[in-house]
Amino acid sequence: MSWITVVWSMASAVCLTLAAIHFAIWLKRRREAAHLLFALSALGAAGTGFIELTMLKATTVSGYVIALRLSYLPLTLLLIAMAWYACKYFGYGRPLLATVITVTWALVIVVDAFAPFGLNFEEIFSLHIAQTPWGESFALPRGESSPLHHLLNLADATLIIFVLDLSATIWKRGNRRAAIYVGVGITGAVIAVVALARLTDAGVLQVPHIVTFVYMVSVYIVGYPLSAEVLRSAQLERQLQVSEAKLSETERRMTLAAEAAHLTLWEWDIVRDEIWATNERRGGSGVNSLEKLDFNRFLHSLHPDDRNVVTAAMTKAVKGDGVYESKHRIVRPNGKTFWIAARGRVEFDGERNPIRMRGISMDITAQKHAEEKFRLTVEASPNGIILVDEEGGIAMVNSQTEKLFGYIREEIIGRSVETLVPQRFRHAHPSYRRAFFEAPMARAMGAGRELFARRKDGTEFPVEIGLAPLETPEGTFVLSAVVDITARKEAELEAQRHRTEMAHLSRVALMSEMSTSLAHELNQPLSGIVSNAAAGQRFIRHG
C-alpha cells in the first residue's frame, strides 16, 4: 500500500469535498460571493494535491514536466481565490494587493505556457528516485535551474506581503490573537514550503514536495470561520425548525384557548402594515384568510361612525403610551353588524419607533344587545333610575330622572349623587352610602323615614327610593329607583283634611241631636210649669 498515494489522495478529496459543499451553498446564495471564492480556493488546493501526487509517482521526464507545468494552474487559482476571499469575507485585505497577486500569478501562467520545462528549470535531465523513511519511492527532478524562477519568488513575495498586511490590519482592529495566528502561521508556512521546494529542486534535500499540505492548511485556516458559519447555520436551521415546531404547537394551543374563551389574537406589523389574526374572520374584520389585511382594509370594515374613533385610539397608542383600547362595530359583507372590544399594546424599538402592536379582540355583540335592552328598560321606567358607583359618582340616568330633577343628562353624569340630596342631609349621606356598599342588598332606602330630594332649582320634593346592587366588570354599582310621591302626599293631606271636616261635621250633628233631645225632654216639664204658673196668676187675680 502506498502511503503517499493514500495521504495525498485523501487530502485532495477533503479539499474537493469542501469545494463542492461551498459551491452548492453559493448556488443557493448567489449574493454571498465568499462561498464561491472559498470553493475555488479549495478546488485549487485539490488540483494541486492531485498534480503533486502525479509528479511524485512519475516514471518519465516528459510525464513529470507535463505535471509540473500544469501544477501552476490550480496553484494560481488557489492563491488568487484565497486573496479575494480574504477581502470579501473578512473585509480586512486590501483589494489593491489582491489585484497585484492576481496580475503576478496570471503572469506566471502566461510565462509558464512558453517555458518548455516550467519556471523552475531550464532543462530537466532525469528523475531521481528517492525513498521515504518507511521505504516508499518517489520521483525528484534533476536539471538546470532557470532564471525564470525569480518570477515565482516575486509571486510568492506578493502573497507574503498580502498576508502580513492582512495580519497588521487585524492587529489594529484589536484581534491580536487572530493577527498572530494568520500572520505568523500562514507567512511562516509559505516561507518554509518555498524554501523546502527550492532546496529539493536544487538537489540539496531529498524529500517529497509538500506544497499541497501547506496551502491546504492555509485554506483551512482562512476558511475555518466560513465553514464554522455554515455549521452554525445548519445548527441554527435545525434549532429554528424545532423552535418553529414548538411555536406552531404553542400557537395552536393559544388559538384553541382563545377560541374556547371566544377571543381573537391579533398582531399588526406597523412597519410592513400587515395584520395577522387567529380566527377565520381575521380578528372580527370580516376579511377571510385569503385576503391581505392591512390597516386601511381593516378601517374599511368598520362602521362609518366608528372609523375616526378607532383611528384616534390607534394614533394615541402609537404616538403615546402604547396602550390601545376600543369598542367598535364591524360591518360584515352580508350587512350584519357586530360589536368588537379590542385591547392591544405597541412594541417599540430602541429609538422609540413603533414596530408592531399585539392584542386581543372579543365579540361583545350579545353584551351590547343586553346593554341596549337594559337601557331601553331603564328609559321606559316611569320612575327615575340612577346608577351610582362606589365613590358616589352618577354613571347613568334615564329621561324620567331628567324630568324629576330638572337636569339634562350631560349635566348630571359624573357628578356626585349628593348633588340630588337636600343640603341639610348631605353631610350624613356618604356614610349611609358606604354602609350600603359594605353589605349590598336590595331594599328600600330610609325605611320608616321621610325622604326628600333636591331639584336643580333648589326646590325639594318627597320621594321614595328603592336600592339594588348591580355587579359589573367595572365593579359594584347601586341601581336607585326614585319615585316622586308629591301627588301622593298631597292626596294624603287632602284626605286628612276631609277626615277632619267629617269629624267636625259629625260633632256638629251630634250636638244638634243632643240639643233637640234635650229640648224635647225639657219641653213637657216647662209646659206644666207654665200652665201651673198661669193657673196661679188666675187664682191671684180672682183673689
Q: What are the cell numbers at 308?
A: 375616526
pLDDT at 307: 92
Q: Are residues 198 and 87 in the same domain?
A: yes
Q: Are residues 292 and 384 in the same domain?
A: no
pLDDT at 183: 60
pLDDT at 283: 46
Arithmetic mean of pLDDT, 297-308: 90
Q: Are residues 445 and 297 in the same domain?
A: no
Arithmetic mean of pLDDT, 282-288: 51
Looking at the chain, the whole-number percentage of residues with pLDDT higher than 70 is 83
Looking at every residue in the chain, the average pLDDT score rounds to 81
Range of the domain at 152: 3-234
Q: Are residues 178 and 205 in the same domain?
A: yes
The answer to whether residue 535 sits within a structural domain is no
Q: What are the cell numbers at 519?
A: 229640648
The answer to whether residue 340 sits within a structural domain is yes
**250 CB-near residues (< 8 Å, 6+ apart):** none
Q: Are residues 46 and 106 in the same domain?
A: yes
Among the three residues 484, 508, 535, which one is the final residue of a domain in this structure?
Answer: 484
DSSP result, 416-436: BGGGGS-GGGTTTHHHHHHHH
Separation of alpha carbons 416 and 393, rounded Å = 5
Q: Are residues 320 and 424 in the same domain?
A: no
Separation of alpha carbons 94 and 84, rounded Å = 9
Count of residues in the chain: 543
Separation of alpha carbons 443 and 425, rounded Å = 20
Which of the given ranges, 3-7, 217-221, 380-384, has the highest pLDDT on average?
A: 380-384
The CATH number given to whatever domain includes residue 134 is 1.20.1070
The answer to whether residue 276 sits within a structural domain is yes
pLDDT at 7: 80
The answer to whether residue 520 sits within a structural domain is no
Looking at the chain, the whole-number percentage of residues with pLDDT higher than 90 is 17
Q: Are residues 138 and 67 in the same domain?
A: yes
**309 CB-near residues (< 8 Å, 6+ apart):** 326, 328
The answer to whether residue 502 sits within a structural domain is no
Q: Are residues 396 and 460 in the same domain?
A: yes
Write 376-381 long-range contacts (CB < 8 A, 24+). Answer: 381/481
Q: Are residues 48 and 133 in the same domain?
A: yes
Q: Are residues 137 and 44 in the same domain?
A: yes
Separation of alpha carbons 182 and 187, rounded Å = 8
Among the three residues 363, 394, 413, which one is the final residue of a domain in this structure?
Answer: 363
DSSP class of 146: P
Total tally of structural domains belonging to the chain: 3
| Cα separation of the two ends of the chain | 204
Residue 357 in this model has a pLDDT that exceeds 90? yes
User: Would residue 262 be called left, alpha or beta, if left means φ above 0 and alpha means ψ between -120 and 50 degrees?
Assistant: left
- Digit-coded pLDDT (tens) for 42-87: 888 888 888 888 888 888 989 988 988 888 898 888 888 888 877 7
Closest CA to 57 of 114, 5, 109: 5
Q: Are residues 344 and 396 in the same domain?
A: no
The answer to whether residue 494 sits within a structural domain is no
Among the three residues 484, 519, 535, which one is the final residue of a domain in this structure?
Answer: 484
The answer to whether residue 530 sits within a structural domain is no
The answer to whether residue 512 sits within a structural domain is no
Which of the given ranges, 7-21, 459-473, 528-542, has the highest pLDDT on average?
A: 459-473
Separation of alpha carbons 147 and 125, rounded Å = 17
The CATH number given to whatever domain includes residue 437 is 3.30.450.20
Arithmetic mean of pLDDT, 371-400: 89
Closest CA to 219 of 89, 100, 78: 78
Q: Are residues 67 and 182 in the same domain?
A: yes
Q: Indicate the pTM of the whole model.
A: 0.46
Separation of alpha carbons 482 and 388, rounded Å = 13
CA dihedral 118, 123, 128, 133 (to 10 degrees): -40
In angstroms and rounded to an integer, the radius of gyration of the C-alpha atoms of the chain is 55
Confidence tier at 454 by pLDDT (50, 70, 90): very high
* Start-end of H helices in 261-364: 295-300, 307-319
